[in-house]
Amino acid sequence: MELHSIIEQLRATGSSKAKLEILSANKNNRDLIKVIVATYDPKVNYYQRKIPAYNKVKQLALTEEQQFVYMMAAINDLANRTHTGNSAIDYLVSIFEELDESNAELLKCIIRRDLRIGCNVSTFNKVWAHLIPEVPQMLCEPYKDKFASKLDWSKGVMSQIKYDAARCFAVCDLDNSTVTYMTRAGSIIDIQNTPFIKDTLAIAYRVREHYLSLVPDSISDPKYDVIYLDGELQPTDDAGVLLPRKSGNGIITKIQRGTASPEELENIRYTLWDALPWVYAQVGKYEVEYQGRLSTLTFNDALAESNYFELTDFRMVYSEQEAREHFEYVNQVLKLEGTILKDPNEFWYDKRVQFQLKLKAEKDCDLLIIGFNPGKPGTKWENSVGSIRCISGDESVLVDVTGMSDDFRAYINECREEVLGKILHVVYNERISKKKAGTPDSLFLPRIGPDGIRGDKSVADLSEQIK
């Protein structure tokens, strides 16, 4: 099939430009479009992440093209919940046993929501406008004096704790009692924990009741039937203590892949800081002030009673000095990432805003992995990866990242194809501007950040985000 050849071409190059050219040259390939949508559309959930054991059948009844048609129809059945529980697992086994090796590998990628081609949603949408809906999200700016000066300190600014955890969105369909958890990049977080899901729905029900109470003479309104929750997902140990960021993100990745243990699923916590109707998130604007949106969580008995959820911790500050003091307490005493300053009187927007400012101690950025450099001859890494070549989303910063632990280096060396095209969290001291025109900037002392390979993000930072 031509489709498999296209996928192999995409996997064979580390160049973002080359990948875009390959996709553009095949923009009319309907099978390619179907597979991309099936894999990356965040609204689609197959309710299966583990690949079951199956028998490889030597004599296949279907041609390769017929197998593809059958496979796509079958995963649509899974998405529509035609089969559930053990029946769904048996059905998935039956699908695999009708496929040859190429189509079986493709199905595994679709189920795991990653074609391993080093492309992200923004790349696909450059070729096919609006093909994959991107996750609506309000993002903050790094702290700058020019932004801070625009905040109304006299009325008070919220200084919220930023935990070392993974951003998580929950789309709560209250009519159908379903929840879809997503990362910033739109990857599904398949939380197979029934009490956790029940608590999520209970909290969303209370949010809906709060919003409906503000609508005159209304006991129901379809605009509030789907609630959108925003916060951070935090894996903890058995004592409920937040795990270090690197360990925690490893568990989040296992949850995404469907390989987390029951104990790991039991120990996740969800800190919430925003809630709004999903329909307004899709539109991109919700004209309710932040303090009003936060009150749907502050006065939420379901949240207060849950063992899995908590409200974001914050204090009101009335000057930049007070904001700095709170940041230093959070960073140096609590040993957490930092704080985010938020104007309590602003609306919700699906974009990066200048009235929410992040304070952090180290400079960091998220870059796209485009290649690997060999280890230096004569060192213990001469037969392994020496550094990871990364680039910004607009190709304005190009850097070779080191600072790897032996375990991380071994993982990268063994899984080069898997991590190529992924986003790497990079910590650095300064950005270095190159004097020669047209030459990308570099970074001083770049090293692997605590997030490592970011499973929650698929788009690299741009120049203006890398200070």
Give pLDDT, residue 218. 65
* DSSP string for 387-432: EEEEE-TTS-BEEEEB---HHHHHHHHHTHHHHTT-EEEEEESEEE
CATH 2.40.50.140 occupies which residues in the chain?
363-465
Q: Could you report the per-residue pLDDT of 407-420, keeping only the tens digit for each?
A: 889 899 999 988 99
pLDDT at residue 286, as a whole number = 97
Give one DSSP letter per residue of 251-295, joined into a string: HHHHHHHT---HHHHHTEEEEEEEEEEHHHHHHTEE-S-HHHHHH
User: What CA–CA distance (Å, rounded) separates 404 from 362?
Assistant: 18
Return the residue matching tokens 């977080």: 189
Q: Poorest-confidence range of 119-123, 213-217, 288-292, 347-351?
A: 213-217
Handedness of CA 237, 358, 459, 271 (dihedral sign): positive
Q: Name the percent of the chain lying above pLDDT 90.
A: 55
Mean pLDDT for the chain? 90
Location of each CATH 3.30.470.30 domain in the chain: 139-360
pLDDT surpassing 80 at residue 17: yes
User: Has residue 192 got a pLDDT over 90?
Assistant: no
pLDDT one-digit tens code per residue, 314-339: 999 999 999 999 999 998 898 888 89
What is the phi/psi pair of residue 231, to 5°?
180, -155
Predicted confidence at residue 85, as pLDDT, reads 83
Indicate the CATH number for domain 139-360: 3.30.470.30
- pLDDT category, 462, cuts 50, 70, 90? very high
Q: Where is average pLDDT lowest: 31-35, 69-73, 374-378, 394-398? A: 374-378
- The CATH number that domain 363-465 falls under is 2.40.50.140
* Model confidence at 257: pLDDT above 70: no
* CB-CB contact of 232 with 274 (8 Å): no
